[in-house]
Structure 1
Amino acid sequence: MLKGLAAFLLSALCVGLFIIVFGQTFPSAQLHEVGDFAANSLLIADAKHLKLLVGHYSRVGFNHPGPAFLYALAAGEIVFFDLTHSVASPFSGQIHAVALLSGFWIAAIGTLLIRMQPATRGATAAAVLTTALFVGVTAYINYQAFAGPWFPHLYYFAFAAFTVSVGALIMGRADGLVLLAVSLGFLLNGHASFLGMTGIMLACALIANTWLSFRSGSNGTRVLSRHYLASNFRTIAVALAIVVIFLIPLAIQTILHFPGPLAEYAAFGRAHKANRLVDAARFAGLFWSNGLFGILLGAAACAVLVTNDPARDNESRVAPERALSLALASATAAFVFYAVFGVDDLSLTYVGIFYYVVPALALTLLAKRFLDNVTVATAPIAVIVCVAVATFTAIRIHQPPENVSQYNDPRIPAAYTAIRTLEAGGGVAVLDLDGSADWERLWPILVGIEAYGKRQGSVPFCIAQNWQLVFTRSARCTPDEMRGPHRRFLVSAVPKEGLTGAVNVSGLFFYPRESAE
């Protein structure tokens, strides 16, 4: 057992280091993040002091269920920036943490695939080959998932690990329960929608497992049986304990602010009109037909039909493929449910980036089946595929991220100093934000200044009017701050007609509203 754990940890570390070396991780750059990344850094600052109980902000006005991902990013900031000084900025430390977390998920998926293979010669090579193919497909369709700290990308590998674990559960295996629990915990912490989607996937998995068990006449693999529960009691208990630990922050939030976050999520669901099923299905289809990917998927399916040899389709070979295919079907059912009831605007495709896992795994299974039909998986073949995938992946992840403009705004330190000069008599600058024009330029810069100030130990402003959750609750002006000495400003991203005396701070216009009190 210890030997297997050591091999897993070494594999995860090697994959993580590969991503750090070849990916865009900016170890020597002085980064001053803005926008969503700065908003996350505000929460990460609390996580570094073990004070964070909520997840990242949602654009609809609430925090997501839990801080698991944020604590992982905080650990990267602590290790790589605060302790070892191996990176030049805290945000680079967060990016390094994402790379190592991706390495963990990829190694965990590979380890579980090895266990799901029949205990025959070449089983390990076949599982490694499958994992490599999945990594290569991911590098093609979603290269930013490897080291991207944006939450829609962070969900990707966690959802992949959960989906593969669901496949193992359908097979009636217990050796995937710990990975299922860990990935489930991260997903439940990551986004409110996973509360429903993972439940649907688990329910579908239990139904599929029961059906397959009765069909094969094997009671030992039926999860909902006394024999299974008795045989795997310890593993099940550990998995349940892991999930409970991940849910502790949500429970504390519910107790402290009853009825808590779950009531907020339910209110959001009631507030917007459900989408039509056909529109939801069309939304899911976007992730299957994206550019060249749809052509590759069709080509792989045709190749399997042309080369298929039914004589080689023994049960030990088909069982893992069947289980994973059923897991993909359950994930699709859950995603369509999410698109119907949980997405208020189907034009926002970024909310479904994690679902790329399903067509990626489908293409992986087709490519693996094609290779199985034309050759036998051996160590040399697995090595050749791994080298080819590593080369392709290195090229893909070396591309700049699409949202790299939010990684650094060099004006932030000077803007922080400029706002500090606006303070009055030891108070803070009270800001009223102008949301009437170019809001998408105003808030990213201002939240970047806030994150920088929090790292310096002093945020030089609070927000009175037009406060939004992106700035965190601590940025909202308190009654004491409003009563104390302060100067008040209207902050706008564009010049305001009829107003004079503006102070220009990083392209934002600070208009004085009242003198110090």
Structure 2
Amino acid sequence: MPQPTSELAAATTPIPVTSDPASEPVADDRHGDDGDGQGRGRKERRVRRLAGAGLLLLAALPALFGLVALLRDRDAPSPIGDYAVFALVVDAIGRHEVLLGPFSRFGWFHPGPMAAYLMAAPYRLLDGAPEALLVGAIVIGGISCVAAVGLVLRRAGLLAATSAVLVLCLTLRVLGVDFLTEAWNPYLPVLPLLAGVLLCWTAIRGDAWGLPLAVIPMSLALQSHVGFLAPVGGVGAVLALGLVVRAVRHRRGRSGRSATAPDGRPVGRPVRWIVATLAAVALAVLLWLPPIIQQLTRDPGNMTEILEYLRQGSTERSMSFTDALRAIGDEFGRLPAYVVGADVPAREYLPLLVPPAAIAVGLGSFLVALAVGARRRNEDVLWLGGLTVAVAAAGVAAIARLDGPPYSYITRWTVLVGILAWTTVALSLLPEVVAGLRRALGGSQRAARPVAVLATALAAVTTAVVLVTAVDTARAKLPGPDVTVLAQAVVGDLERLGLRTPADAPVVRVDFTTTTRDELMGTYMPGTGVVLQLAREDVDVQVSPFWVLPFGERYTDRAEDAGYIVTVAYSDGTSPPPEPWQRVLGVAGEFQVYGGIPPTG
């Protein structure tokens, strides 16, 4: 039977990441032990490492391009809405107590503040500039992409990792080229969660270090939005099952029946797993310390309120189980639909209604990949497929339980179903394509060139998609009103009135007025941006106690002491006019601000 050439093996050989010579892939030994054969083996390993480094650079390229553009142009709009409230929380890190995550419309807060703590570094380095949160988000997203591709590269080799880069970039294009800069709590943890799932995968497959590292992105996801409980729980269940299987195999090995996994790799020493487990527990306690402190020092604690909400169940369920299945089916078909240019309706509600043919292609390819993996007893494929199924099942459960309108942003993490599914397809079927070429050409030397052509073509397509995505990310312009002008107008009026000196500085209350427009929250969105900018100017700013949930007591408990009141209004006459003691201070686009000293008594 013909033996594979070293060029052929290089395409699917995992990249070693350790300096232990025993872990290096075995070079082609058809040349015996002569110096020429050994030199060729070393050269091939160097080539694989260089190719692997190139793939990691490709994975980072969209984030790098976007980061350079943000730091070069410095023209990002000031945050408004939830982004502005998040910026206020980030600004409070190191100055005030921050124990919880973003607020929820259901009257409690998401579990923890880990995202705010991570964002504090770029926020401080950029002195709270409007692009600070965008920079933090793009750094987190870029690191997550590199980590995800690196894990696939380690376990499955160059071809599979190249496919992973391609799948990631196509998905970013489907989501929108500004997705990497999203600091919003339903979006920010999506790419870190992908890295977390793959860390769990590599832990199941024998890398004990993956266990404590997985705690970091999993904690970020769950602390940022309680909706991530479903995928984190599903992946955690598969991880626990995988570790139990490893423990059983180790016990069998000690009894003399089997000391290796079905793929021939050793099951592993228990000591390092004990150390890894203890490290994971210690890291989890450290990362969850703020919400633990809040739970123990408040009555009722935030965790208690979340658990009570989950126990009561949805009161306004809007999605049936069938609708939820269709919504997850859409994730299998998103990439095929995008690649062929199929018309997918622009919808903000689930399901997205991807064409059924695209769903059939995606789901069918995934099932074939699992079947081939089972036939080949390829546990890398089977466990990654199992994690994909777990995330998909979690998506069905989460979507079927949605409380209120089924906005697609709430479960944006379900996009991971498609990424994981197509990565599983690459892991399972690309080696079959390589083997099929070798068999069809009837000889290893004849097969080497077609396989090289396949690898080169895949690399070329991937590079092209990455470059286009990177350029589009750098060119992305973020929409939003320039509320900085409004805040500066307020500061200017305070200076005119002599109210900026510490001895005379009043409490400044910002009111969000109503409008005859079809706007549920009036001028809340631009108003939050004005509050943020005034706080950055060291103005003692407050808002109405009605907004205590998003802003917290620090920005609402002295609202009645206001010595100067700002009103954010629409400039087209759809908002109430200024009070007699107020005047229009500034206009920016469709918004304006009134300001003045209210009468006493």
Task: Please state which band the TM-score falls in when normalised by the shorter chain.
Answer: 0.7 to 0.9
CA deviation string 1:91-136 (max 9, x = no partner): 323322222222221222223223433xxxxx3x134324313322
2:70 equivalent in structure 1 = 25
Take 1:362 and 1:311, find their aligned partners in 2: how far apart are those partners? 13
1:466 to partner: Cα distance: 2.6
2:220 equivalent in structure 1 = 186
Residue pair 2:249, 2:259 contacting (<8 A) in 1 also:
no
Q: Which residues of 2 match residues 323-472 of structure 1 at below 5 A? A: 323-341=383-401, 343-367=402-426, 369-375=428-434, 380=456, 383-398=459-474, 400=476, 404-406=478-480, 408-417=482-491, 420=494, 426-431=505-510, 433-434=512-513, 438-459=519-540, 461-472=541-552
2:171 equivalent in structure 1 = 138
Residue pair 2:203, 2:210 contacting (<8 A) in 1 also:
yes
Take 1:416 and 1:490, find their aligned partners in 2: how far apart are those partners? 10
Residue pair 1:38, 1:448 contacting (<8 A) in 2 also:
yes
Take 2:369 and 2:197, find their aligned partners in 1: how far apart are those partners? 28
Take 1:19 and 1:380, find their aligned partners in 2: how far apart are those partners? 24
Aligned residue for 1:486, secondary structure, equals: strand
1:475 to partner: Cα distance: 1.4
Q: Rg larger in 1 or in 2? A: 2
Q: Which residues of 2 match residues 96-495 of structure 1 at below 5 A? A: 96-117=135-156, 123=157, 125-142=158-175, 143-171=177-205, 173-207=207-241, 210=244, 229-269=270-310, 270=312, 272-273=314-315, 275=317, 276-290=320-334, 292-293=337-338, 298-299=360-361, 314-315=376-377, 318-341=378-401, 343-367=402-426, 369-375=428-434, 380=456, 383-398=459-474, 400=476, 404-406=478-480, 408-417=482-491, 420=494, 426-431=505-510, 433-434=512-513, 438-459=519-540, 461-478=541-558, 482=560, 484=561, 486-487=563-564, 493=570, 494-495=574-575
Residue pair 2:511, 2:566 contacting (<8 A) in 1 also:
yes
Take 1:236 and 1:9, find their aligned partners in 2: how far apart are those partners? 30
Using the size of structure 2 for normalisation, the TM-score is: 0.69
1:2 to partner: Cα distance: 8.4
Residue pair 1:16, 1:99 contacting (<8 A) in 2 also:
no
2:343 equivalent in structure 1 = none
Aligned residue for 2:186, secondary structure, equals: helix
Take 1:498 and 1:139, find their aligned partners in 2: how far apart are those partners? 45
Structure 1 pair 464–149 and aligned structure 2 pair: CA distance change class (3 A): closer
Take 1:339 and 1:360, find their aligned partners in 2: how far apart are those partners? 19
Structure 1 pair 304–57 and aligned structure 2 pair: CA distance change class (3 A): closer
Aligned residue for 1:429, secondary structure, equals: strand
Aligned residue for 1:199, secondary structure, equals: helix
2:341 equivalent in structure 1 = none
Task: Compute the RMSD of aligned alpha carbons.
Answer: 4.2
Matched letter for residue 19 of structure 1:
A
CA deviation string 1:233-269 (max 9, x = no partner): 1122222222111101111111232331112212433
Structure 1 pair 407–15 and aligned structure 2 pair: CA distance change class (3 A): farther
Take 2:373 and 2:224, find their aligned partners in 1: how far apart are those partners? 44
Structure 1 pair 338–153 and aligned structure 2 pair: CA distance change class (3 A): same
Take 1:398 and 1:508, find their aligned partners in 2: how far apart are those partners? 31
Take 1:154 and 1:170, find their aligned partners in 2: how far apart are those partners? 26
Moved more, 272-281 or 67-76: 272-281
Matched letter for residue 395 of structure 2:
F
Residue pair 1:42, 1:472 contacting (<8 A) in 2 also:
no
Q: Which residues of 2 match residues 75-114 of structure 1 at below 5 A? A: 75-79=121-125, 81-82=126-127, 90-114=129-153
1:339 to partner: Cα distance: 2.4
Residue pair 1:489, 1:514 contacting (<8 A) in 2 also:
no
Matched letter for residue 417 of structure 2:
V
Residue pair 1:110, 1:127 contacting (<8 A) in 2 also:
no
CA deviation string 1:417-453 (max 9, x = no partner): 2674789753223455445753545112111111112
1:325 to partner: Cα distance: 0.8
Residue pair 1:307, 1:373 contacting (<8 A) in 2 also:
no
Take 1:11 and 1:178, find their aligned partners in 2: how far apart are those partners? 25
Moved more, 461-470 or 102-111: 461-470
Could you list the runs of 5+ residues in structure 2 that have no partner in the other structure?
A: 1-16, 21-48, 253-257, 339-353, 436-450
Aligned residue for 2:130, secondary structure, equals: helix
Take 2:139 and 2:418, find their aligned partners in 1: how far apart are those partners? 24
Matched letter for residue 390 of structure 1:
V
Matched letter for residue 391 of structure 1:
L
Take 1:439 and 1:68, find their aligned partners in 2: how far apart are those partners? 30
Identity of aligned residues (%): 18
Residue pair 2:192, 2:217 contacting (<8 A) in 1 also:
yes
Residue pair 2:89, 2:116 contacting (<8 A) in 1 also:
yes
Matched letter for residue 335 of structure 1:
G
Moved more, 278-287 or 68-77: 278-287
Aligned residue for 1:146, secondary structure, equals: helix
Take 1:358 and 1:311, find their aligned partners in 2: how far apart are those partners? 18
Number of corresponding residues: 491
CA deviation string 1:360-413 (max 9, x = no partner): 221233355454333377675664354234223224424536xx2238445244
Take 1:320 and 1:101, find their aligned partners in 2: how far apart are those partners? 26
Could you list the runs of 5+ residues in structure 1 that have no partner in the other structure?
A: 83-88, 118-122
